[in-house]
């Protein structure tokens, strides 16, 4: 059977700055998924997109074609509003863990399909797998039952049936220098979220040293593109633009981030983690037609009850001890003063080298590995105070982690200017 279009013509159109017609763009995605369009051709097309961009209609068509490559879920029969959240990734970003049960405690269904970490950014599933017995893989039937019942929240791995075109294209972008193309980032994220079937979506789009987007203006462009995609696809979508220059909270790793999340659910925890959790929860509740202060459910125990139900539903034991490291190493302040800077990227790389992250998708993670922070920017320290506790199962990992931390912090005489985590709210 002959093909209706030619990949080379599609590539040339985008190479020369033109707009690819809808039929040709849909065919390009489908033919690549089927294996007719070669990796080399799709690589050239992705590079042309990186260099020349795409218009709003092109991005919508690209996203819709990626959705059409697989299954599309529906939660129409739940009898509840559904709300989801997506973060573009950061260091110490454990927000999904307290957020999903917090929102579910108000009767909103939260289908949180999450991923694993790669490089300096952590993965939600890796963190939760620190909990003995907890499993990430659920069937669609299990997912629906958990959302429909008294649990109301699911954090699990996305099935292979959701947007398989994206999975194939993302792997190609990762090795061809085209990951940074905003149209491809937006279509990758939104194809999966729209296919997931949620009614509303809140995006946590991060900028700063520990974020995928270092520059705030680029992060804003990405947020605006994704919000527009949501609107064009009938999914109510808002985005919060948030600062990821400093790690979130006082833990970076897996098991230690679970511990900190439980502290937040118990009504405590670091102020920045609570601030962002509550801000995102407020957005999700508002989009579900609920006017409430989610901080109340953290204070009165409802969110903790929902967490325990959610963990048990996925065969985890919320009372079981979490993994602890065999080896630790303390990093101390070399002078007295005020912490002015703690670089999220450097700290994320150090945690990765300790075993908390992975360099390849197939690599295992060490759940007990990571870094505990004992001070944050604005805190006053004395000479010799502990700034970081490095945690690993193998002491030979400390040297390379310490290399990554060299220059990761700054102690001065004056405090840095205070700045909120949430910098802006972006709507359609």
Catalytic residues: 86, 166, 173, 188, 192
Phi, psi (rounded to 5 degrees) for 425: -120, 130
The label of the residue with tokens 């400390």 reads 398
3-state secondary structure of 252: strand
Q: Who contacts 161 (Cβ-Cβ below 8 Å, separation ≥6)? A: 70, 71
DSSP lists the bridge partners of residue 200 as: 83, 236
Q: Pairing state of beta strands 110-114 and 153-157? A: parallel
For residues 5 and 24, is the Cβ–Cβ distance under 8 A?
yes
Q: Cα–Cα distance between 258 and 45 in angstroms, integer?
A: 41
Beta strands in 152-210 (DSSP E): 153-157, 200-207
Q: Cα–Cα distance between 262 and 116 in angstroms, integer?
A: 20
The Cα angle at residue 255 between residues 93 and 258, in degrees rounded to 5: 55
Which pair of tokens denotes residue 280? Answer: 């995102």
């Amino acid at each position: 059977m002959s093909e209706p279009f030619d990949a080379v013509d599609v590539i040339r159109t985008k190479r020369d700055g033109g707009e690819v017609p809808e039929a040709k763009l849909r065919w390009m995605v489908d033919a690549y998924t089927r294996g007719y369009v070669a990796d080399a051709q799709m690589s050239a097309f992705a590079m042309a997109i990186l260099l020349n961009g795409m218009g709003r209609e092109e991005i919508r068509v690209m996203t819709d074609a990626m959705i059409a490559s697989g299954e599309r879920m529906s939660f129409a029969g739940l009898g509840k509003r559904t709300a989801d959240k997506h973060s573009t990734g950061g260091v110490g970003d454990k927000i999904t863990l307290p957020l999903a049960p917090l929102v579910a405690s108000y009767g909103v269904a939260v289908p949180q399909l999450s991923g694993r970490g790669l490089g300096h950014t952590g993965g939600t599933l890796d963190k939760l797998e620190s909990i003995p017995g907890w499993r990430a893989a659920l069937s669609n039937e299990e997912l629906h039952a958990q959302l429909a019942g008294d649990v109301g929240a699911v954090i699990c791995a996305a099935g292979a049936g959701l947007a398989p075109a994206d999975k194939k294209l993302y792997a190609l972008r990762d090795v061809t220098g085209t990951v940074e193309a905003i149209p491809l980032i937006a279509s990758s994220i939104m194809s999966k979220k729209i296919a997931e079937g949620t009614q509303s979506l809140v995006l946590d789009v991060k900028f700063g040293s520990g974020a995928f987007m270092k520059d705030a203006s680029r992060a804003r462009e990405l947020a605006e593109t994704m919000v527009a995609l949501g609107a064009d696809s009938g999914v109510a979508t808002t985005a919060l633009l948030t600062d990821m220059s400093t790690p979130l909270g006082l833990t970076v790793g897996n098991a230690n981030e679970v511990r900190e999340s439980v502290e937040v659910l118990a009504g405590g925890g670091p102020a920045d983690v609570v601030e962002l959790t509550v801000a995102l929860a407020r957005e999700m509740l508002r989009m579900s037609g609920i006017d409430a202060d989610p901080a109340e459910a953290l204070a009165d125990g409802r969110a903790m009850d929902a967490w325990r139900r959610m963990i048990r539903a996925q065969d985890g034991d919320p009372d079981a001890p979490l993994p602890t490291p065999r080896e630790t190493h303390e990093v101390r302040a070399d002078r007295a003063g005020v912490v002015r800077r703690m670089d999220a990227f450097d700290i994320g790389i150090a945690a990765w080298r300790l075993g908390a992250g992975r360099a390849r998708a197939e690599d295992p993670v060490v759940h007990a590995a990571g870094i505990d922070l004992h001070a944050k920017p604005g805190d006053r320290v004395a000479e010799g105070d502990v700034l970081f506790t490095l945690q690993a199962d193998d002491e030979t990992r400390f040297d390379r982690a310490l290399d990554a931390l060299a220059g990761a912090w700054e102690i001065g005489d004056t405090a840095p200017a205070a700045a909120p985590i949430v910098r802006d709210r972006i709507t359609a």
